[in-house]
Chain A
């Protein structure tokens, strides 16, 4: 039934989109894949929220500490203690107590202090994209009480809002994935294409280099290279060095695939036709060969971004990657993944679902792209 409907519905679409370019065919096929579209939208949201405008999305700034040290998450409520419904959601204030038996500090809800929440509230000033001065945050409390707070995922040992830290951590982690993968694509495609097109000693050299890189297991290689980063470097230099290392270690696989594709594409008769008409090497490369590898490269790259993000996370968690004061998901995990932290501040594990969600979304998008970028296959 559903199938019949779908074919009926798609018949006119198919006719209408006759004489459209490769890209519109790809888009048309991609759109039909719900999972992939979902993954794509999710990634878009994550990237906008974290890479683009975390200052706006989070209610606090990254550096803002508070007296609420290692406070539990404040639940967002609609009903107060008497069972009255509030149209506007609110959180209870936190009250610090000392548990003498366990000798720990605990926070309990204070039902007297009700802090209503709202969207687009004014808060601490910041500069959007480093340019536009703004005070509006996506959400926050509407209360004038200086003690008012909204920590939806609790706080850390310095009283910083954990959700804010996840957002800013995502900025570095996601950007490592994107920038690192772009560099991998650049290395891999250029070297692979040269290797496949020119052959001879160029090919030999590049092939041996990829074999050498491939022979060394990733993690020890990362560790060796990352450990070599001088500790007196500024955090930003460390960040870029780490991105470079991650992409340097990974270009080999892509280069091999591109080489294989170029080898087969350059024997395609359309490439021969251009060559027999006198087309230059660069015309054949850029018009006939590389466009034919791009879909493949994009799919591989998309599916490899999670690996990149995870590598950063793993390295930073091991203490070899990014270090505080930089905030990345790996750095956050380093805080969260001690026995004491799991016991006293389990909410710091909120980082994990964000990492998983990102990886899942990249895989959904990558799978969808793989199907969509080969639109001639299903005809």
Chain B
């Protein structure tokens, strides 16, 4: 894909900040499976099963994985769109702190009032450009909604904020009174971005924000997101299933498989030197820029495991080329192999895996 080499140099933000903004520990989200007239719970879909990661201020954490591996559920559980089953989500909040000091809070412990305030600081961008904007509301109403929810009155001030946000995402002020159906997919995504920024958040959860767009529009939108990140010092959790998009935008990457994080590292380290066979398989599907390179694509056998009935041991073992008996029996631990490079594989470091 062209975005990869086009603006590679912009991918790294100029300043690195080591302060941790969000620290997730042991997050779980199990959806009950109910059957029968009395709605008895007969099992659970372990959509997110004990994941831990952190996000630094102003950085982008990419989250990749095949469809159904729990990426969206993870993102939504963090801001309690889904009430998590277990875990801890520590967030460095400005609004809950006093005298200009920040305060680190566990989002899962907050009461409704506090949670509502924190929602100013964490916003979401969604995947579907059609469904993410209410067709019955004008652009100005859509962007203003978060502000109104948080008690601002519509007036000249809010209008000015909306216009400058619109212009910042590349739309015009005369788009203000229009309705979503009058825009293209890329423009709608920009409206969604403006809405996400309207309360000046510090963390934006982007759930596949470019997956539904044309390739050329994808590149523009990614670049816009990167520019905004620099201007507003935003941290992104960037969910995607396209490896090249993730490589382009992320500082660090977490790879998910059936509700668990199987590998997490700096983008370069993960792409050149993967430690988990699943990561290797995902990477082998990325088209190479070199036309002479002989593609050597690892076809994974079978389907993604069923999160309500996962296999024994390592969830990936039925599809893994390197699987041994140990993998069927024992679930591997998520451990640090190198500096800042974590993985959950019994043979991490022993296998010779190919990156790009």
Contacts and interface: CB of A to CB of B under 8 A. Distances in A.
Interface stretch (B174-182, B274-282, B328-336): B174-182
B126 A269 contact: yes
Given A268-B131, A276-B79, A204 B149 contact: no
Most buried by B among A21, A277, A283, A292: A277
Given A269-B131, A270-B131, A288-B134, A276 B181 contact: no
Contact of B182 (A18, A276, A292): A18
Question: Of residues A22, A273, A274, A291, which shows the largest number of chain B Cβ atoms within 10 Å of its Cβ?
Answer: A273
B292 interface: no
B81 interface: yes
A16 B355 CA distance: 54
A278 interface: yes
B39 interface: yes
Contact of A276 (B81, B128, B131): B81
Contacts of B256: none
Contacts of B135: 22, 376
Nearest to B129: A269
Q: Is the interface of B mostly helix, strand, loop or mixed?
A: loop
Interface residues of A, number: 25
B132 A21 contact: no
B116 A273 contact: no
B149 A277 contact: yes
Nearest to B119: A278
Interface SS of chain A: helix
A20 B178 CA distance: 7
Interface string B151-179: 00000000000000000000000000111
Contacts of A235: none
Contacts of B128: 269
Nearest to A18: B182
B124 interface: yes
A379 B183 CA distance: 12
Given A272-B81, A278-B119, A288-B134, A22 B179 contact: yes
B119 A276 contact: yes
A191 B120 CA distance: 33
B136 A22 contact: yes
A272 B126 contact: yes
B179 A278 contact: no
A22 B127 CA distance: 23
Contacts of B150: 277-278
A275 interface: yes
A283 B149 contact: yes
Report which residue of A20, A268, A276, A280 has the largest number of chain B beta carbons within 10 angstroms of its beta carbon. A276
B195 interface: yes
Contacts of A204: 39
B124 A279 contact: no
A379 B181 contact: yes
A272 B149 contact: no
Contacts of B254: none
Nearest to A295: B136
Given A270-B133, A278-B149, A291-B136, A21 B179 contact: yes
Contact of A277 (B123, B127, B134): B123
A287 B127 CA distance: 21
Interface residues of B, number: 36
B312 to A, nearest CB: 33
A277 B199 contact: yes
B103 to A, nearest CB: 18
A372 to B, nearest CB: 15
A95 to B, nearest CB: 66
B146 interface: yes
Contacts of A21: 136, 138, 179
The listed residue with most A CB atoms (<10 A of its CB), out of B81, B136, B146, is B136
A99 B241 CA distance: 93
A269 B136 contact: no
Contacts of B192: 273
B145 interface: yes
B119 to A, nearest CB: 4
Contact of B116 (A272, A274, A278, A376): A278
A133 to B, nearest CB: 46
B199 A273 contact: no
Contacts of B132: 269-270, 273
A291 B142 CA distance: 15
Interface string B93-128: 000000000000000000000011101101110111
Contact of A19 (B76, B126, B177): B177
Contacts of A280: 149
B182 A273 contact: no
Interface in A11-51: 18-22
A291 B134 CA distance: 10
B177 A275 contact: no
A376 B180 CA distance: 10
A19 B181 contact: no
B145 A279 contact: yes
A65 B128 CA distance: 69
B121 to A, nearest CB: 11
A203 to B, nearest CB: 10
A273 B205 CA distance: 11
Nearest to B80: A276
Contacts of B138: 21
Given A270-B134, A272-B76, A278-B120, 10 more contacts: A19-B178, A21-B138, A269-B127, A269-B131, A269-B132, A274-B149, A278-B116, A279-B149, A287-B137, A288-B134
6 contacts: A270-B131, A270-B133, A270-B134, A270-B142, A276-B123, A292-B136
Interface of A: 18-22, 204, 268-270, 272-280, 283, 287-288, 291-292, 376, 379
